[in-house]
Structure 1
Amino acid sequence: MVLILPACREQEPAAPVVARVGEETITFDAFLLDYALNPHYRPNSTREQARRQHLEHMIDNLYLYLAARADSLDRSPDVQKKLDYVRRREVLKYLYLKDVLERIPVSEEEAWEEYKRAHIQVRLRHLFAETREEAEALYRRLQQGESWEALAREVFHDSTLAANGGDLGFVGLTDLDPLLVD
């Protein structure tokens, strides 16, 4: 008597599905990977809002993908070339995540704070002084209540800067010298 049993091994449980579009699904694992690599949400969002916005973005993209596939756009030579490029790039991203990021522990809270900081913009304006003494004198005058705009008209020879109070516009915190940020 011969008894043949198929080799059995324990299967990993399937990742939970967080969204379904037709026959396609977005798993929790796919969501986490996309959220980490390609975040799509407004910077002033709470964590829950950010996750919801990102999932909605993934669902929208899945609808667009299915429409394009229905038109056979996924089979065009140009798309195939780009897919090869993206496939290579994604393999490198995965390698980076696996070999680099896993060695550097970063909490979700730290990542969230850095993301928010990277998207903060401040309106920057300045006054010009040739020497430290002149700069300190301008600072004292501001402390004594003189208006920024009046000082700008006084110190700038450039009519635009004099008129707009030395306004440099909006600048991201990550674009500033770290000494100015603190």
Structure 2
Amino acid sequence: MVALAWRVSLFLLALAVFSPSCAVAALSSKELPQSYCSLGKEIGYPARPYNNSTVSCASNMVDLTGGPGRNGMRNNLAFYVMGDYDNPRQLMRISLILNVNNEKAKAAGHAEVARVAGRLAVLLDGDEKKKVEKMILAGKKGVIKGDSWRTEIKIEKWPTGLGHDVTVYFHPIK
């Protein structure tokens, strides 16, 4: 009987841990900037080590699927963490930047930045994933205010006419 109770308890624990509806605890917006660099690895865009002189860390720009655009470059995505130059112990923002060099492959690029931003939203705010993903996939810019993070989505066409970028900023609410 004890073995059965133990198995039931283990099953319920596993169900709670791996359930998709299980709430995720949000990451505090008050951490030191370098504390957020490890998020890059968690979303599939590992950042280089934190640089105290630039108060930042960043991933490499990662080429996405689809061939090169008219400028010879592929769509690419990168992850960034920026500290505040005036107060290096304070985070200014976390950002994702998608450069769409190949407009014919923009849907795949938008889907990837929506996926990554959604995952980052869960890690930071715990519950803004669907709002962030929906706005990006709909091609809408705007702001989503959470409890301790403000997410800003920008979409800007390049003056050259050769592409656009989608930038997602996660700003700590002070």
Q: Same fold (TM over 0.5)?
A: no
Larger radius of gyration: 1
Q: Please state which structure has a larger fraction of its residues in strand.
A: 2
Q: Please state which structure has a larger fraction of its residues in helix.
A: 1
- TM-score in terms of structure 1 length: 0.22
Q: Specify which structure has the bigger relative contact order, considering alpha-carbon pairs within 8 angstroms and separated by 6 or more residues.
A: 2
